[in-house]
Structure 1
């Protein structure tokens, strides 16, 4: 199997004349402390059983997945399958958004190999590698929304896309803490990180202006401990902070938590695993098209589990409806797989 770099090379003319495999697998060998290395054979068996033609490309440095994804459509790939976690998926999505020609954007699929795998769960890529491999061959896709955020911090600004969630305040500080914890995975990693963060985190004065689903504007201001913006219901390995969010409704769900006691926050933590925290009056949900947040003192921000800034002062968020295509696994189950093989 040739790498994507080989396909763009000029030194191997005969190799470049061979038919292009329609699937590019972008694998992050560092995801979840090297889990991809253990999963590679399993994923490749599933692809082979489905009759998939593919190139397997492992990332070699931070940002490599975005570079590969940015070039993939122009190189002729019609599908990118990510073998990695939420961070790798997000990096690939950002690469796709930077591509020159959106008309040849490959559809996305995921073989979940990360710590949280929140986006994979929301998009349906969690049942089996075999099911995912078969859906790649079936070629059915659907359009989903993504979010775009413009951050201002210390007189600098930069743009980032997110496909799953964006968190501000306590949620982002928990991501910082989670990166320091070893030997834990999934939801337990984020539970422990959240408890540790609660001990010292302080709310911040924010002013939030959002354009709601009905087109009307609303302003929320005061002492706020957390803002969660969800394109999907899940974040942090299984917390349903925005439990009603949908990938394809043209909206972003925003949850705002006002300042409350640490003990009360701690009591909300297990309820947030099931989306039951929303009944607490300190937590309010909104459905938005655009969100502007200002915090003079600066506040941490993460997107898809990756820290964007430790002290953002102005945050501008908007939804891009239907901007990303993903493979549709909803019609593929074990019985349909057996029928295709038979």
Structure 2
């Protein structure tokens, strides 16, 4: 099998020596080419080339969720097709939500062993993905989540700290979430986002919204977080949002997020939907937007669609 290994050299949990060992192990079973990313978006460009020229059967992403997202967007630049190479993932980031949701170990060496076994046994899974669309901007595929509003603001703050030299850790996310909660006091009381679902009444006043393609939404260390426990790679998209974030209601929501009992957190200010094919989020003002933990700036409107059986994954 012809394979391209896309390596993010800045992946936070793998050293150069570890990446060398993993590359050698994969090369023993595959006709392997290795490409090291050099700039943001490079993984997407490499995967796009592999999908376009038809020279690869498999693209392996060695990195975190951001690297995986770029590879997926490169592979699916022209949409799902039987001609699109399969995807495999070796987790190298700080959280690795997509890889862990697929059932892979969070350790890169162990995950490589699972991948090699899957290749030998020809195991693969066809998964659904989400697509986010804004007029005038490129569409963006996502593997596990997207967010508009508060949670995307936290992602943006974390990216600013990382650009300033801070290491990506779970403690950094928690600290920035608390700081963002304090600084966004007015916006927590009156949300500017409206949910529009075809054929239904609009739902106004959302402070934030989390769109899930699978569950969990993220991890705090080894603790999974579940805004939409029924979300799945085999259904369309789930949405979870809040219309108000008081101290008391937010504390109740956080407790609910840490439990995995369906249908998920509930309360007077909770908005939750399961298995939506199409919907749009519209904001009265520009608010932060993220996909798969990658901050994409501010948006006033984003449309979402669930695409079933979008990609073949070795797992």
Q: TM-score, normalised by structure 2?
A: 0.85
Match of 1:14 in 2: none
Counterpart position of 1:8: none
Find the counterpart in structure 2 of residue 316 from structure 1.
Answer: 303
CA distance in structure 2 between the aligned counterparts of 1:240 and 1:308, rounded to whole angstroms: 23
- For the pair 1:138 / 2:121, whether they are aligned, the reply is yes
Give the C-alpha shift of residue 54 in structure 1: 1.6
Q: Which moved more, 1:230-239 or 1:314-323?
A: 230-239
1:255 counterpart residue number: 240
Task: Give structure 2 stretches of 5+ with no counterpart.
Answer: none
> Is the Cα–Cα contact under 8 Å of residues 256 and 266 in structure 2 kept in the other structure?
no
Which residue does 1:28 correspond to in 2?
8
1:4 aligned residue:
none
Distance 1:101 1:285 in 2: 28
Cα distance in 1 for partners of 2:25, 2:226 equals: 30
- 2:58 is aligned to 79
Q: Which residue does 1:273 correspond to in 2?
A: 258
What is aligned with 2:33?
Answer: 55
Aligned to 1:339: none
* Bigger-Rg structure (1/2): 1
Pair 151,253 (structure 1): closer, same or farther in 2 beyond 3 Å: same
What runs of 5+ residues in structure 1 fail to find an aligned partner?
A: 1-20, 212-216, 330-342
Counterpart of 1:157 in structure 2 is 137
SS across alignment from 1:81? strand
Structure 1 distance, partners of 2:208, 2:251, is 14
Q: Which residue of 2 aligns with 1:195?
A: 178
Q: How far apart are the structure 2 equivalents of 1:270 and 1:189?
A: 20
In 2, Cα distance between equivalents of 1:233 and 1:225:
21
TM-score, normalised relative to structure 1? 0.79
Which of the residues 62, 73, 89 maps onto 2:68?
89
Instruction: Between 219-228 and 82-91, report the one with greater CA deviation.
Output: 219-228
Shift of 1:282: 2.3
**Range 257-266 or range 268-277, more displaced:** 268-277
Q: Helix, strand or coil for the counterpart of 2:183? A: coil
Give the counterpart of 2:232 among 243, 246, 263.
246
- Are the counterparts in 2 of residues 163 and 231 from structure 1 also a CA contact under 8 Å? yes
State the alpha-carbon separation in 2 of the partners of residues 77 and 242 from structure 1.
Answer: 35
Match of 1:325 among 304, 307, 312: 312
Confirm or deny that 1:103 pairs with 2:82.
yes
Change (3 A) 1:257 1:144: same
The partner residue of 1:305 within 293, 306, 311 is: 293
How far apart, CA to CA, are the structure 2 residues paired with 1:208 and 1:219?
A: 9
The offset of 1:45, in angstroms, is 4.9
Secondary structure of the structure 1 residue equivalent to 2:312: strand
Would you say how many aligned residue pairs link Structure 1 and Structure 2? 295
Q: Does 1:70 align with 2:48?
A: yes
CA distance in structure 2 between the aligned counterparts of 1:255 and 1:45, rounded to whole angstroms: 43
Shift, 1:318, TM fit: 0.6
SS of the aligned residue for 1:146 comes to strand
Q: Secondary structure at the match of 1:218?
A: coil
